[in-house]
Each structure stands twice: as structure tokens, then as C-alpha cells.
């Protein structure tokens, strides 16, 4: 079924209860992972929940994606009527989460203020509150875990760090209606009472966007970061360079964008990000709990660089610009000292722009590079990244190189052998098996996209175990999961949306939720209810026929 953009909001799978909130418009059946929830919120402040007698639209923990680790339902709900205070008691790390939560409340028609996040509220306890509190003693939460305690008289979010607060806020956001249009006339939204303790399965939970084959600008990239954050994905890998284009301005080598950015697949105009553009993307993503991981692909996939700087070719000549889709034909001159000077300068400049810990050097499909030369190049490139203060990441082919010199991450995509060898050599692995999570693939034969890795419907993207993706690799070597979106056939924002949704939430649950707690039949029901959220936020999606979607309007 072709992908399509839905023009009107759909009904979300939430329960409408025309009852007083204090009588318990509850969460319904909820998941219980067997652990203890957080302590109830006990604060001496008035609560709209105790007096509200109108209809309420109560969210459900059963709608949350990714499924939380532990949920315990309680009686009642916290009614979001009147003005709600969002208070920060956890210090600066909670400020971004508070701002995000206020935006989501406003989208649901709820007025809010509060301390932290810059709205100027004076902290008066006169309003019912959602309080974000530091949980320094809760070491079991790690840097990204969080606890929620929702009661009729208030809500508490506890976390140890910035990202944990963001993920707690994103869970609360999924308990809100998709838009204010869903709230019954004269009614109010409500959060179900209960306790949540939630920690991720993997440290790396990512999505990759290829802006080299077809260029996408700041707004498009930030939309992907917003979507990633909504589902607790914490890495945005940007594939910035390839044969068809170089997409990030380099002060030391302006030719890379003056010349190398002017092409893309099919002969379009291309384009590039200025360094200010890149900084804006990085900061926007950071506030959302998402770390940008930039990729400069080398020694192959480098035609745009060779066109721009002919001395990087062994013969010193500039090749023709490339607008096709073939791979494996280009290579830096790996025996020339000038090549390593170039790599050092580009990596150094990129490291200065990138606060995150990782820089991706590519290293895939280097068929035009002699094997010995490839191994020498990769070893030197990895060391250059480390010297710049970053951890190098490369596609699984780097496993053919000695990786023992320092920390390194290898990304599995098609061949388990070099991925396993990389793990044996000391690398951590990101699992991106093409036949599961390459989101440029078709859902089925009728949808647009690539098909060389197979058809990938939502169930295929959901039903696998990352720990078993590369036989023989110990689970302790698996850093996480990432879903790449290559852009040979992706030309518009609508194309991005259709490829990502609904498969990206499926991958997000694979990456966050323990294997034994995931069930396809359960997920397919929950994800159908998210269609209204996507439409309300301006995203399109593909109506995968294996999911019982609400009727289109």
C-alpha cells in the first residue's frame, strides 16, 4: 500500500471517562515488570484533580512506546485542568525536559508554567504540579533511566541526569492526547495514576539519515531528531559525505562545498550545511536527549571530495561529478602523505564542531582500495579520530583491520564475519542488519524504496534480537541498535516520514525494551494508536497492512 500523508487527525487509543477524576479514571491494565515503583508524590498544594467533576480523557500506560520496564497502576488520575505548574527541583539537568513537557502540554490545550526552562514562574505552590526532581541516590537508573509517580494530587519525575529527565517527559507526553481536538467539550485530559521505573536495554539507540545522496537541510534534520527523541532514541547519525556530495562546510577546505556539494543523485542542485547550521542541529538534538554522530565516509565513497580536491587522487586529476547510485568505484590515494594531512585537518575541524564522543569514518564498500592499503588507511584514520579526542566508529569492514590500539565501535550491516572479527579485536558493536532495520527498503512489493536487502515491514523491523544478530558475539559487546535511512530514492520530507513511520518506533522498542518483554501482537495494537500523534505533529506515515490502523479522515 503506498505511503501517504494523512490530512486530518485520527482517534487515538485512549479511554474517555465521564467521571470525576477522584473516583479513579484509571490506567486500565498495565504492564508490571515485577519491580517496585517510586514513592507517591506527597505535596501540600491544591489539586484540581480533587474537585474536577467534568469529563476527562485519561491516557494509558499501555499506549507507551517503547514499553517501559516496570509499571504499577494506582487508583485515580491527575486531571490537567486549569494551569499546571511544571517545577524543576532537579537543577539544570531537568530544564530541557521541563521546557519539552510544557510544549507538549500546550499542544494538548493545557496551560502551564513553572520553575526552570525559562518561563519566569515564581515557584508558588498554588497550582497542581508536575515536579522534576534529582534522584542522585537511585544509581540503578543510570544516566538515562527515570521514575514517574502519578497521583491525583501531583506528578513527580525522578532522574539522575539530563537524558533521564527527557525520557520521563516523553513518556508523560505519550499519556497526553494527540491534540486538544480529542478532548471532549467541557472536559480535560488526565494522566493515569501509577508508578513507572524505566531503564533502557542498550546504551546506543540510533537512527541514521543520509544527507549526501540527496541533501536535506536543517528543518528536515531537526524533524528527524524530534521523532527520534519522542521514542527515546539517543543517537542521530548523519551521513554527511559520499560520492554524490559533501554536505558540511569545512573552513580549511572550502572547495569541498563550493564544488563538492553541487550534485546529488539524479542531478539535483545538492546543497550543504554551514557550520552554524550544524551547530544548531547539534544543540537542538542535545536538548532532546539526542547526540549527533557525524560521518565522513572514507577511503571509499569519496568522489565528491576527489572532484573538489584533485590532489587526493593518486593521478592528481579531478574525476567527473557523480549523480548515479553505484558504489565502490572511488578511493582516496592511501599511499600519499597529503591524504593523511587532509584526514587530520577534516577530522580535527569536525571534532571541534561536535561535542558528542563519536566520529564515524565510514570504511564501507572500499572496493577500489587495495586490501593492504585499506588496512593501513583505516588504522591511521582511527588513530586520527582518537588523537582528536573522539571515539572512532566505522562500518563492519573495519573489522579486517587491527583494532587493538584503542576504543572503537563497529557497525554491523550485512556480513557477520568482519563484525565478529571486530568484536574479537575489542570493538563494541552497533547492530544495523540491513534485512531488519535498513529503512530505505520497501515495506512490501507495492511501496517505494530499495529492495536489495529484502522487504522490511514493521513486523520484520520489530521481531529480532540484537544480541543474536552476529553469531558468537557476547551480549556484553553489543553497544546497541541503529536504523539507517539511505537516501538514493528519498527526495522529499514526505519520503522520510513514510520510510520512518511506523518502523522507527518498532526499532526504538527493540533498542529500549528487554527482549522478553516485547510481543508483536501487543506492539501492533499500541503503534496503531500513535497515528493520530504523527498526524497532529505534521508527520506522514505508511499504512502497513499488518497493523489495524484507525480509519482515515
Buried b or exposed e, range 239-263, using 16+ CB within 10 angstroms:
bbbbbbbbbbbbeebeebbebbbbb
Set of cell numbers at residue 455: 522487504
Count the alpha carbons within 13 Å of 260 in the hemisphere toward its beta carbon: 29
In whole angstroms, what is the distance from residue 84 CA to residue 105 CA? 9
Residues catalogued as catalytic: 365
Cα–Cα distances (Å) from 442 to 205, 437, 439, 481, 496, in that order, read: 22, 11, 8, 20, 13
In angstroms, the CA 246 to CA 272 distance is: 7
Helices (H), 272-334: 275-287, 303-308
What does the alpha-carbon distance between residue 282 and residue 510 come to, in Å, rounded to a whole number?
Answer: 25
Helix (H, G, I), strand (E, B) or coil at 48: helix
Report the DSSP pairing between strands 56-58 and 15-17.
antiparallel
CA pair distance 457, 436, nearest whole angstrom: 9
Write 310-314 long-range contacts (CB < 8 A, 24+): 311/336, 311/338, 312/336, 312/338, 312/339, 312/342
* Cα atoms in the 13 Å half-sphere on the side-chain side of 501: 34
Helices (H), 175-246: 218-230
Nearest-5° Cα angle at 37, 31 to 40: 120
What's the rounded Cα separation, in Å, for the pair 539 and 445?
23
Nearest residue to 245 via CA among 276, 210, 274, 293: 210
Using CA atoms, how far apart are residues 284 and 153, in angstroms rounded to an integer?
Answer: 33
CA–CA gap between residue 106 and residue 381 (Å, rounded): 47
Identify the residue whose cell numbers are 566520529: 359
Nearest-angstrom CA–CA distance, 323 and 214? 10
The SS3 of residue 94 is helix
User: HEC string of 491-541?
Assistant: CCHHHHHHHHCCHHHHHHHHHHCCHHHCCHHHHHHHHHCCHHHHHHCCCCE
Give the three cell numbers for residue 304: 565528491
Beta bridge partners of 31: none
Cell numbers that stand for 227 in this block: 521523532
Amino acid at each position: 500500500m503506498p505511503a501517504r500523508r494523512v490530512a486530518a487527525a485520527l482517534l487515538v487509543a485512549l479511554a474517555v471517562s465521564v467521571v470525576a477524576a477522584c473516583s479513579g479514571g484509571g490506567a486500565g491494565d498495565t504492564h508490571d515488570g515485577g519491580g517496585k515503583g517510586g514513592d507517591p508524590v506527597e505535596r501540600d498544594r491544591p489539586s484540581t484533580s480533587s474537585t474536577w467533576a467534568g469529563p476527562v480523557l485519561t491516557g494509558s500506560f499501555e499506549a507507551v512506546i517503547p514499553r517501559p520496564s516496570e509499571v504499577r497502576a494506582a487508583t485515580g488520575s491527575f486531571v490537567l485542568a486549569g494551569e499546571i505548574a511544571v517545577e524543576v527541583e532537579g537543577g539544570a539537568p531537568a530544564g530541557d525536559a521541563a521546557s519539552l513537557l510544557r510544549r507538549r502540554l500546550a499542544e494538548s490545550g493545557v496551560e502551564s508554567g513553572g520553575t526552570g526552562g525559562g518561563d519566569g514562574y515564581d515557584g508558588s505552590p498554588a497550582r497542581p504540579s508536575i515536579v522534576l526532581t534529582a534522584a542522585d541516590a537511585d544509581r540503578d537508573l543510570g544516566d538515562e533511566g527515570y521514575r514517574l509517580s502519578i497521583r491525583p494530587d501531583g506528578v513527580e519525575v525522578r532522574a539522575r541526569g539530563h537524558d533521564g529527565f527527557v525520557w520521563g517527559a516523553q513518556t508523560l507526553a505519550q499519556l497526553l492526547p494527540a491534540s486538544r481536538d480529542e478532548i471532549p467539550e467541557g472536559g480535560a485530559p488526565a494522566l493515569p495514576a501509577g508508578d513507572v521505573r524505566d531503564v533502557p536495554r542498550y546504551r546506543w539507540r540510533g537512527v541514521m539519515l543520509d544527507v549526501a545522496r540527496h541533501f536535506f537541510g536543517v528543518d528536515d534534520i531537526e524533524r528527524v531528531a524530534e521523532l527520534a527523541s519522542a521514542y527515546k532514541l539517543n543517537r542521530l547519525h548523519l551521513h554527511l559525505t559520499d560520492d554524490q556530495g559533501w554536505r558540511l562546510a569545512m573552513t580549511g577546505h572550502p572547495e569541498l562545498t563550493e564544488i563538492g556539494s553541487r550534485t546529488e543523485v539524479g542531478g539535483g542542485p545538492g546543497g550543504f550545511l554551514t557550520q552554524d547550521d550544524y551547530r544548531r542541529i547539534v544543540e537542538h538534538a542535545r536538548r532532546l536527549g539526542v547526540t549527533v554522530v557525524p560521518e565522513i565516509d572514507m577511503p571509499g565513497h569519496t568522489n565528491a571530495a576527489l572532484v573538489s580536491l584533485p590532489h587526493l587522487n593518486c593521478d592528481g586529476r579531478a574525476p567527473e561529478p557523480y549523480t548515479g547510485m553505484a558504489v565502490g568505484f572511488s578511493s582516496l590515494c592511501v599511499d600519499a602523505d597529503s591524504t593523511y594531512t587532509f584526514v587530520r585537518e577534516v577530522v580535527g575541524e569536525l571534532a571541534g564542531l561536535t561535542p558528542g564522543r563519536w566520529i564515524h569514518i565510514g570504511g564501507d564498500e572500499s572496493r577500489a582500495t587495495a586490501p593492504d592499503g585499506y588496512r593501513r588507511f583505516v588504522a591511521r584514520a582511527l588513530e586520527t579520530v582518537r588523537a582528536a579526542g573522539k571515539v572512532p566508529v566505522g562500518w563492519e569492514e573495519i573489522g579486517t583491520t587491527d583494532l587493538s590500539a584503542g576504543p572503537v565501535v563497529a557497525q554491523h550491516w550485512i556480513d557477520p564475519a568482519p563484525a565478529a572479527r571486530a568484536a574479537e579485536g575489542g570493538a563494541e558493536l552497533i547492530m544495523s542488519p540491513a534485512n531488519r532495520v535498513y529503512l530505505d527498503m520497501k515495506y512490501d512489493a507495492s511501496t517505494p524504496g530499495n529492495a536489495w536487502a529484502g522487504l522490511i515491514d514493521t513486523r520484520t523491523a520489530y521481531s529480532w534480537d540484537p544480541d543474536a544478530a552476529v553469531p558468537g558475539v557476547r551480549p556484553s559487546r553489543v553497544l546497541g541498535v541503529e536504523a539507517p535511512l539511505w537516501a538514493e530514492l528519498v527526495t522529499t520530507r514526505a519520503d522520510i516520514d513514510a520510510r520512518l513511520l511506523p518502523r522507527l518506533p518498532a526499532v526504538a522498542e527493540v533498542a529500549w525494551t528487554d527482549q522478553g518483554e516485547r510481543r508483536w501482537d501487543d506492539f501492533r495494537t499500541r503503534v496503531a494508536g500513535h497515528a493520530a500523534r504523527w498526524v497532529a505533529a505534521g508527520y506522514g506515515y505508511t499504512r502497513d497492512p499488518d497493523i489495524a490502523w484507525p480509519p482515515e479522515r
